[in-house]
Copies of this chain bind each other. A is one copy, B any other.
Amino acid sequence: MALVGTLPRNEDGIASTVGILKQRFGDRLQTGAAIRAQHAHTTTWLPNQPADAVVFASSTEEVSEIVRICADHRTPLIPFGTGTSLEGHLNAPGGGISLDLSHMQKVLEVHAEDLDCRIQPGVTRKQLNTHLRDQGLFFPIDPGADASLGGMAATRASGTNAVRYGTMRDNVIALEAVMADGRAVRTARRARKTSAGYDLTRLLIGSEGTLGIITELTLKLQGIPEAMSSARCSFPSVEAACNAVILSVQMGLPMARIELLDGLQVKACNAYSKLSLPEGPLLLLEFHGSKASVAEQAQTFGEIADDTGGFDFAWSGRAEDRTALWQARHDAYWASIALRPGCKALSTDICVPISQLAACVTAAQMQLEKLDLMAPIVGHAGDGNFHCLLLLDEHNPDDLIKAEHFTHWLADLAHAHDGTCTGEHGIGQGKASYLRAEIGESTDVMAAIKTALDPDNILNPGKILLS
């Protein structure tokens, strides 16, 4: 099992905090082992480090009150949305309180004319999209899991359609957050753009609960496109597939999604979803726009694919065909797991300039083979972001050692290609040791900001920055 840091426990402070919160919140303060373990849930290889108690807040005022109580006793506070983060963000290395925001799940306002909405942080992306559908609107960011939007903002999440719609960084207009002293602040008004002072909205997005606790989000929305088309194309090599991606991006083809599956992933999908795709690199695309434009865009991609060695190109604008074309992607995770039944899956997350994508994917495949690790690869190719899904036997120490070796090696690979160790999962505990190698003394600037805004280090301590 990998090592994670622990922090000194402030036993007296924690005991007092739990007592006060219990008195104030009654049954909304829970200390059972199961719920504490579940709230430190990390869908990764990191050991579970549960908080001492879980408290459920239902309003900004309650979050302020809880933060003040924790601040008074210097008790760590770990915000919790849906528990789908991947790098130990929810662990409590020094104990403390898990602050569950999932009951704060109201959609407060929708401004259809302005394409924006104001929501509480526990609203999940599927809940929001269900709410919006009748108005012809949607929120585009799709990280896979049905995560809470507060959590998605806190980890700067993205997913398959970032190539078109950006990441959480680009889709939040303003935040309300409770700071380490219990004050609730609002970072901006509702205008689409502003030059009014420091960009606190962006500072909080991706801060992983270490600078403030997000209690409200004002989000940009999109109109549901009039039409969509999907396309699929196989390639003789990862390099050929990446060349097609590069040309498409260069000519400004407005792809909503462009996903790369490597040969092993396609093989897994063929077996799992009863498909018969050529078992080599595959690109899957989606286009959003008017009926005419999505047809034109799919066809333009077909021409690009043709020029770069693609084969078995297919596209369609019909909903049922589009689902079939994307079947492999929809089932990719479960198809991978089925390659090694009973395995535990660990997802890596490097992101590099797209000119470096083919070299990095190919190098990763070779390294996986050398280490005898099984790991299908899917990539958000338009962003240069790809995931190796390591399929591990968690009871086999060798597997875990090899996995750790590989993730270190992969971070170094990303850095050697001017990329990042994390495109969308965040640093948490799992990648804290890579941060300085990636951005050098910027790490010290981050630490100075952390100290200024949370001098007692009570907000999600032990994440992002090594203490």
Contacts and interface: CB of A to CB of B under 8 A. Distances in A.
Given A193-B424, A445-B179, A354 B113 contact: yes
B441 A183 contact: yes
A120 interface: no
A296 B300 contact: no
Contacts of A169: 193, 199, 202
A106 B114 CA distance: 40
B189 A418 contact: yes
Contacts of A385: 191-193
A158 interface: yes
A439 B185 CA distance: 8
Contacts of A293: 289, 292-293, 296
A146 to B, nearest CB: 19
Given A185-B442, A289-B252, A197 B435 contact: yes
A239 interface: no
Nearest to A199: B202
Contacts of A464: 197-198
A43 interface: no
Given A189-B415, A415-B189, A449-B453, A194 B351 contact: yes
Interface string A307-341: 00000000000000000000000000000000000
Interface in A108-166: 111-116, 136, 155-158, 162, 166
A452 B442 contact: no
A280 B419 CA distance: 51
A111 to B, nearest CB: 6
User: Do most interface residues of chain A lie in helix, strand or loop, or is the interface mixed?
Assistant: loop
A116 B353 CA distance: 9
Contact of A351 (B187, B193, B440, B445): B193
A173 B67 CA distance: 34
A164 to B, nearest CB: 11
Contact of A205 (B167, B199, B251, B384): B199
Contact of A418 (B112, B179, B190): B190
Given A156-B194, A169-B202, A190-B352, 18 more contacts: A113-B353, A115-B250, A155-B195, A158-B193, A185-B440, A185-B441, A185-B442, A188-B439, A189-B419, A193-B423, A195-B422, A196-B426, A196-B438, A199-B205, A202-B202, A202-B203, A448-B452, A448-B453
